[in-house]
Amino acid sequence: MTENPLAEGLALRRTPDPCALVIFGASGDLTHKKIMPALYALAVRRLLPPQFAIVGVARTGDTDDDSFRKDMETAVKQHARDPFRQETWDELAPMLHYISTDFADAGGEDKLHDLLAELDEKEQLGGNRVFYLAVPPPAFPTIVEALGKRRDSAGWTRLVVEKPFGHDLESAKQLTATLLEYFREDEIFRIDHYLGKETVQNMLALRFANGIFEPIWNRQFVDHVQITVAESIGIEARAGYYEHAGAIRDIFQNHLLQLLALTAMEPPIDFTSDSVHNEKVKVLRALHTPGPKSVVRGQYGRGFVEGEEVAAYREEAGVAADSMTETYVSAKLYVDNWRWADTPFYVRMGKRLARHETTIAIQFKAAPHPPFEETASEGLRPNVLVVHVQPDEGVSLAIGAKVPGQGMTIRTVHMDFLYGGAFRTGMPEAYERLILDTMLGDSTLFTRADEVEEQWLLVDSIVAAWQRDQPAFPNYPAGSWGPPSADELLQRDGRAWRRH
């Protein structure tokens, strides 16, 4: 394979300390599809500590170490991004252990405590622990209390918590209080997997490592910002969760607002976790929407996605025939600070949209005196910088260029940077980076308690306004870009959503 010149001089990150990774909910989809494939990818790249143990904990009683290893091998073969290598698996498999227990029963924590003590002595793990809660939120208090009361190891302890972080502000505060009763804030790692994506992290590099962008990253040069988190899939047999959460709690409250915070934040004094979190919190505290008319919600009906007819949301298994759960949200938001005053941030997210994509588009103001308008071949458009988060990770800049030939004919063209083409390597999955950072004790790409609370403050105010009216659902067909009222949201300002 040809050497990649862009990879020259890249130093390997430090190896994590010896530790045990305990996965609660080891029989669930998250473990099979994300956690175990991520651990396998880290093993392929020799990024796991040499002294390491993985302990799966679940209520499945007919599973032992051997059957758990076989199950995880199947998961890796089906879901890992790397081709299966038997020699890598043969090194990883002996590290896997399994405990069948329910922490709601007395003595469940004793079985885990005894196994970890045994592994400490046998594998020289130093008492270091990562506890990963890949379980539904109602199980958190029982597990956290049991773990907190048996904290007698000599090493460090870290607790990984999957979203949702509460259902509203009050429940989020209660969850935080429960966690802080037994763990310090710097020991709690709230995972938002969007923050582990390479392109999201590259937003910081794009802004702060390039002298040409940061001077124009403000209200004087930026006309508006559009953030899109679009999914072509439906709820994928998650009706039990989705009916309770809806689009605003599933994506808007966490992923989307985190993307906005990274886009709008001030330069941190350094890239330590506290410095980055502090700047994001400032954005979230300054964030507001002008009023109920600046927020649109929708629910998909029957339609066609990629040429196939799909059912309406109310026809999905487990969904009520008269459900008022939203599957789409768009909003106009403002960040009330010196940098962004009066600059609108248009955000949207939804299920069963025209295609799968996540993008952050920064549209700059038009040139003050465009002498080429009469000769522009398709209407001279403003410069737009687009960060493609998924599926095709990269950055694109739209500029005006002269068409070859006589005369001064101008057309918009794109300068594109694609990660796969530039670095000639597969993009790491978000969970690989986040699990590794947890073991390293780096919480930069995780969410802090005050961030969560600020996000819920905005969402609670939006949901409260929704109680006063009941829209006519469904109001957009599957395979479209959402309800017509979402287009009107921008049209009132003389703008339009990006279509490509």
Domains of the chain: 14-162 (3.40.50.720), 195-272+281-429+465-491 (3.30.360.10)
If you ran DSSP here, which 8-state letter would residue 253 be given?
A: I
pLDDT in tens, the chain (500 residues): 344 444 443 344 678 999 999 999 999 999 999 999 999 999 999 999 999 999 999 987 667 899 999 999 999 999 999 999 999 999 999 999 999 887 666 667 788 888 999 999 999 999 999 999 998 888 888 899 888 887 776 899 999 999 889 999 999 999 999 999 999 999 999 998 888 887 787 788 888 888 888 899 999 999 999 999 999 999 988 888 899 999 999 999 999 999 999 999 999 998 888 999 999 999 999 999 988 899 999 999 999 998 899 999 999 999 999 999 999 999 999 999 999 999 999 999 999 999 999 999 999 998 776 665 555 545 567 899 999 888 888 888 888 777 787 667 777 778 888 876 666 566 678 899 999 999 999 999 999 999 999 999 999 999 999 988 889 999 999 999 999 999 999 999 999 999 76
pTM: 0.90
Helix (H, G, I), strand (E, B) or coil at 208: helix
* C-alpha closest to that of 240 among 105, 137, 348: 137
Q: Of these residues, 255, 288, 388, 414, which one is catalytic?
A: 255
* C-alpha closest to that of 370 among 382, 361, 378, 386: 382
Q: What is the DSSP string of 18-41?
A: SEEEEEETTTSHHIIIIIHHHHHH
The residue behind tokens 């998924």 is 390
If you ran DSSP here, which 8-state letter would residue 241 be given?
A: H
In Å, how far are 29, 137, 308 from 238, measured between CA atoms?
Answer: 12, 15, 21
Contact 42, 435 (CB under 8 A): yes
Cα Dmax for the chain: 84
* Cα–Cα–Cα angle for 38, 447, 339, rounded to 5 degrees: 125
255 in active site? yes
